[in-house]
């Protein structure tokens, strides 16, 4: 008997018909003799609709109340799914995050799971029930409802799998797995069979929307094997696990893109020690996530600092930056919302020179201008104009031979120092 956690995302539970299909799938797993836990998202676009309603009332709603609102989405799904299983003649029980024992910290709208107290889920499983857990939500030790950030049901699923010692964590979605690029942008993108945590972390961090970044961190830290697959068919998807020799040895695993960030520039900041610490300290205090940072060469004692931040954090970022400009005597700040980030991810980068050179050359030949560049050991990201993002993705996918699993060492021009 195995213990399986199956997570179903918004599109997989987007209608009552889809909920019935999910109920049947869970029952099939149960009838194979497994213990089954389902973690579910809000139906379809419900979370977005709730966000729209909140924004129609306030530009900057209190975050505690935001969590109170958003947590309702998943609660609808768990109740309906439990009813669906009941009508099919099987036993299920739904739990909110709190009831499932998901304990989180108190950072509203981006809470982190601290602990899973799995006893209640365990008892229900031992009683032969299919357990249905609301994704994306937790309870603080003080009894406050929290949510885990967009896509947070993935993290709930992985945490529940870790907490129960599950054999596998299946993430069901509307695509067949993790792809070498977003198939909506690059029709030649192919499904990746296996990918390491390390690469998946970079892909998730740079815009591969299939898994929430935190869920991959959690899986790596607790060694939970994730199987990302489609809820619309029975095909094998993508396995995310610790790197080993049996994995595909492509130099580049994928191209990702992200249009959810904006660029903020602060002009003529005094160039002296402590200024960057002050700017980014204020942003951190305002709970603003910062991604790329660039500081220009200093001229006449002042410098420009640019950074990218999620558009969702922009209202808070602008408020913090406005205060910094006033306090430090900087000249002004500006925002550019029409940017995109395109990234190349691959563990083979560590050992193969020439990847950056080929990336920049290919983008240049396609007429794409690079605004900012950042790298990690296994990733290179460029900020470009938003309207060039599709061109950039397709150009890189082709240049690195991702559609036919080729080895770039054979095609890359000799490029020292990249
Ligand atoms: N419903 C939440 C969202 O849309 C959580 C999730 O689906 O994972 O982000
Ligand atoms: Mg999702």
Domain boundaries, the chain: 3-174, 244-418
- CA of 265 from ligand 1 middle (Å) equals 31
163: Cβ contacts below 8 Å, ≥ 6 apart: 101, 115, 116, 117, 118, 121
The per-residue pLDDT for 365 is: 98
Nearest ligand to the CA of 14 is 1
238-264 average pLDDT score: 90
Query: Residue 40 in contact with residue 133, Cβ under 8 Å?
Result: yes
60-76 average pLDDT score: 97
Q: Please name the residue whose Cα sits nearest to atom 8 of ligand 1.
A: 151
* Residue that wins the pLDDT comparison between 131 and 248: 131
The per-residue pLDDT for 248 is: 63
Tokens 């049947």 found at: 24
Residue ranges lining ligand 1, Cβ < 6 Å: 9-10, 41-42, 47, 73, 135-136, 150-154
Nearest ligand to the CA of 71 is 1
* Distance in angstroms (rounded) separating the CA atoms of residues 70 and 86: 26
The per-residue pLDDT for 406 is: 47
Least confident of 226-235, 237-246, 252-261, 353-362: 237-246
- CA of 52 from ligand 2 middle (Å) equals 18
% pLDDT > 70, the chain? 95
The per-residue pLDDT for 405 is: 52
Per the DSSP assignment, residues forming a β-bridge with 102 are 116
The per-residue pLDDT for 403 is: 83
- CA of 196 from ligand 1 middle (Å) equals 24
- CA of 264 from ligand 1 middle (Å) equals 27
The per-residue pLDDT for 245 is: 75
154-162 average pLDDT score: 98
Q: With 70 as the cut, is the pLDDT of residue 182 above it?
A: yes
- Strand extents, DSSP E, 174-301: 194-196, 226-230, 238-241, 254-258, 261-270, 293-295
- CA of 334 from ligand 1 middle (Å) equals 31
The per-residue pLDDT for 300 is: 85
Nearest ligand to the CA of 172 is 2
Question: Residue 409 — pLDDT band, cuts 50, 70, 90?
Answer: very low
Of 339, 10, 317, the residue nearest 151 (C-alpha): 10
Structural tokens at position 388: 């060039």
Nearest ligand to the CA of 147 is 1
Q: With 80 as the cut, is the pLDDT of residue 181 above it?
A: yes
pLDDT digits (tens, 9 = 90+) for 82-134: 999 999 999 999 999 999 999 999 999 999 999 999 999 999 999 999 999 99
- CA of 264 from ligand 2 middle (Å) equals 27
The per-residue pLDDT for 407 is: 44
- 136 CA closest ligand 1 atom index: 5
Mutate to test the pocket of ligand 1, among 9, 10, 69 (most ligand atoms within 8 A of CB): 10
Nearest ligand to the CA of 39 is 1
Mean pLDDT of the chain: 93
Q: For residue 229, give Cα distances in angstroms to 12, 29, 194, 319, 344.
A: 11, 15, 12, 41, 23
Q: Please name the residue whose Cα sits nearest to atom 6 of ligand 1.
A: 151
Q: Tell me the CATH class for 244-418.
A: alpha beta
Q: With 80 as the cut, is the pLDDT of residue 249 above it?
A: no
Helix (H, G, I), strand (E, B) or coil at 111: coil
Q: For residue 14, give Cα distances in angstroms to 180, 228, 248.
A: 26, 18, 34
Q: Tell me the CATH class for 3-174.
A: alpha beta
Q: With 70 as the cut, is the pLDDT of residue 232 above it?
A: yes
Query: Residue 254 in contact with residue 204, Cβ under 8 Å?
Result: no
Mutate to test the pocket of ligand 1, among 14, 136, 213, 215 (most ligand atoms within 8 A of CB): 136
34: Cβ contacts below 8 Å, ≥ 6 apart: 1, 2, 3, 4
The per-residue pLDDT for 418 is: 39
pLDDT digits (tens, 9 = 90+) for 193-214: 999 999 999 999 999 989 999 9
- 152 CA closest ligand 1 atom index: 8
The per-residue pLDDT for 1 is: 86
Query: Residue 279 in contact with residue 292, Cβ under 8 Å?
Result: no
Q: Please name the residue whose Cα sits nearest to atom 5 of ligand 1.
A: 151
The per-residue pLDDT for 416 is: 40
Q: With 70 as the cut, is the pLDDT of residue 379 above it?
A: yes
- CA of 78 from ligand 1 middle (Å) equals 13
Q: pTM for the complete prediction?
A: 0.88
pLDDT digits (tens, 9 = 90+) for 25-39: 999 999 999 999 999
Mutate to test the pocket of ligand 1, among 11, 13, 38, 41 (most ligand atoms within 8 A of CB): 41
Query: Residue 139 in contact with residue 104, Cβ under 8 Å?
Result: yes
């Amino acid at each position: 008997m195995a213990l399986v956690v199956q997570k179903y995302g918004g599109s997989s539970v987007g209608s009552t018909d889809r909920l019935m299909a999910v109920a049947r799938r869970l029952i099939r797993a149960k009838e194979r003799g497994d213990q089954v836990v389902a973690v579910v998202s809000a139906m379809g676009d419900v979370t977005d609709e709730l966000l729209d309603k909140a924004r129609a009332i306030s530009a900057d709603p209190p975050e505690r109340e935001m969590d109170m609102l958003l947590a309702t989405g998943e609660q609808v799904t768990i109740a309906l799914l439990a009813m669906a299983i009941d009508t099919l003649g099987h036993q299920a029980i739904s739990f909110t995050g709190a009831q499932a024992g998901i304990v989180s910290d108190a950072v509203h709208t981006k809470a982190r799971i601290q602990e899973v107290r799995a006893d209640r889920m365990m008892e229900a499983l031992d009683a032969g029930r299919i357990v249905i857990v609301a994704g994306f939500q937790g309870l603080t030790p003080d009894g406050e409802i929290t949510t885990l950030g967009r896509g947070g049901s993935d993290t709930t699923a992985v945490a529940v799998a870790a907490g129960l010692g599950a054999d596998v964590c299946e993430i069901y979605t509307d695509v067949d797995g993790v792809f070498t690029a977003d198939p909506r942008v690059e029709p030649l993108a192919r499904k990746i069979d296996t990918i390491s945590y390390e690469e998946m972390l970079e892909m998730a961090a740079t815009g591969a929307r299939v898994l929430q970044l935190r869920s991959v961190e959690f899986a790596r830290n607790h060694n939970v094997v994730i199987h990302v697959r489609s809820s619309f068919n029975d095909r094998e998807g993508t396995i995310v696990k610790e790197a080993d020799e049996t994995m595909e040895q492509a130099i580049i695993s994928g191209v990702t893109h992200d249009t959810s960030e904006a660029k903020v520039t602060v002009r003529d900041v005094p160039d002296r020690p402590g200024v960057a610490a002050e700017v980014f300290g204020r942003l951190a205090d305002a709970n603003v996530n910062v991604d790329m940072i660039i500081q220009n060469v200093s001229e006449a004692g002042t410098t420009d600092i640019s950074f990218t931040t999620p558009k969702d954090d922009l209202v808070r970022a602008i408020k913090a930056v406005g205060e910094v400009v006033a306090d430090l005597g900087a000249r002004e700040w500006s925002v550019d919302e029409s940017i995109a980030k395109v990234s190349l991810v691959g563990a083979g980068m560590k050992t193969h020179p020439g990847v950056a050179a080929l990336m920049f050359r290919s983008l240049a030949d396609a007429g794409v201008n690079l605004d900012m560049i950042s790298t990690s050991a296994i990733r290179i990201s460029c900020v470009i104009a938003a309207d060039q993002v599709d061109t950039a993705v397709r150009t890189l996918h082709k240049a690195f031979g991702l559609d036919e699993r080729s080895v770039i060492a054979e095609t890359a021009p000799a490029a020292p120092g990249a």
